[in-house]
Amino acid sequence: MKLFTCSHCGQQVYFENDQCEQCRHPLGFEPGQLQLLALHNDGAQVFLPVGEGQDQIRYRYCANHAQQACNWLVPAAEESEFCRACALNSTIPKLDVPEHLTRWQTLEKGKHRLIYSLLRLGLPVVSKAEQPDTGLTFEFLSDEQKPDGEKVMTGHDNGLITINIVEADDIEREMARRAMHEVYRTVLGHFRHEVGHYYWDRLIDNTPWLEECRQLFGDDRQDYSEALKKHYEQGAPSDWQEHFISEYATTHPWEDWAETWAHYLHIIDTLETAHAFGLEIKPKAAADAEPVSADIDVDPYHLATMEAILDQWLPLTFALNSLNRSMGLPDPYPFIISPDVRRKLDFVHRVCKQRG
């Protein structure tokens, strides 16, 4: 993600901030501009942007700002009480339970970062309220909201993405990661994976991309339930790293696509952050070594090829992993990008470029 500054005093601020810690002006994210705006109250909780050159559109905060779950803005003239990201919600947890509120707030942070990336890519982001057949919607549920002790299963079904709010609990998520033998499990990762299934429906199925997708990822017409059962009974093939980004990607072509899609978003978003900080990777021990050197001087959203993106990404992951090891922490990117995975990532990139 890019860096944001307060448009009143120039202080650097985080994407989730709703107030500048230096000048104390309210801040709100304007999704049309993809900018975090400093605001002044124009009365009755209506705000105007601060600063020369700002338009004079009046805004109000999304209704979920009252629960500290959103800092996005809605034009005051619009009828909707929710911003572009929160309008995608169909169900949220019961907020009278304190831990539900904190978990939902954590989930919203991940979801808003996801929507930012989708908007930057120029992908369609439309709610089911607008387009019931092809729209996107989220439901955040606790197990208590299911009858007879049923468990809420995180997943995707025809544009409906369900997230069990227990995923927002660090301890519970770590227990699940270990039980599932995963090297990586995050809230944002869940969102990126599940929305990958949605965009397979929107961008690949019944399009000219489908045949090439099947050549790279496999035939999606194979029985999904049987493939899932086989994966959990037998695990991944021993040579999975030669062809897949993760063990779970070996389950079925749909899961391979979703895992690859999620990693594409990991790469693009992290590189945008590195670019915003002006990072240059130039190890002193190997000053001109191509595999571990990179000058991240171009916004990754503007790079034409996946090869150019990976030329920046691989040195950055080497640096990130090395820094974490210096702190005694796990590698933030514990994955191997094989030639087959490169080809799959390239396909995702070309699909997004054409659509965006």
- When pLDDT is averaged across residues 249-273 and rounded to a whole number, the result is 97
Query: Do 242 and 105 belong to one domain?
Result: no
Residues 6+ apart with CB under 8 A from 6: 12, 13, 20, 22, 23, 25, 27, 36, 38
So what's the pLDDT on residue 135? 96
Query: Do 210 and 277 belong to one domain?
Result: yes
Q: How many helices (H) and strands (E) does the chain have?
A: 8, 13
Q: Which of 171, 204, 237 is the last residue of a domain?
A: 204
Residue 224 is part of which domain span? 206-356
Query: Do 58 and 9 belong to one domain?
Result: yes
Asked if 341 contacts 349 with a C-beta cutoff of 8 angstroms, the reply is no
Say how many domains are in the chain: 3
- Report which DSSP code applies to 127: B
Q: Which of 51, 81, 111 is the last residue of a domain?
A: 81
* Alpha carbons 332 and 334: distance in angstroms, whole number: 6
* Alpha carbons 219 and 204: distance in angstroms, whole number: 13
Residues 6+ apart with CB under 8 A from 197: 156, 254, 257, 258
Task: List Cα–Cα distances, 112 to 54, 163, 180, 199, in angstroms.
Answer: 23, 14, 26, 17
The pTM (predicted TM-score) of the whole model is 0.92
* Alpha carbons 216 and 242: distance in angstroms, whole number: 13
Give the CB-side neighbour count of residue 277, counting CA atoms within 13 A.
10
* Alpha carbons 99 and 82: distance in angstroms, whole number: 23
DSSP three-state, residue 55: coil
Query: Do 273 and 342 belong to one domain?
Result: yes
pLDDT digits (tens, 9 = 90+) for 138-157: 999 987 777 776 788 899 99
Query: Do 106 and 223 belong to one domain?
Result: no
- When pLDDT is averaged across residues 312-341 and rounded to a whole number, the result is 94
Q: Which of 54, 81, 108 is the last residue of a domain?
A: 81
So what's the pLDDT on residue 180? 66
* Alpha carbons 159 and 134: distance in angstroms, whole number: 7
Mean pLDDT, the chain, as a whole number?
91
Query: Do 219 and 198 belong to one domain?
Result: no
* Alpha carbons 8 and 50: distance in angstroms, whole number: 6
pLDDT digits (tens, 9 = 90+) for 187-206: 999 999 999 999 999 999 99
pLDDT digits (tens, 9 = 90+) for 38-95: 998 877 788 988 875 556 788 999 999 999 999 999 999 898 999 999 999 999 998 8
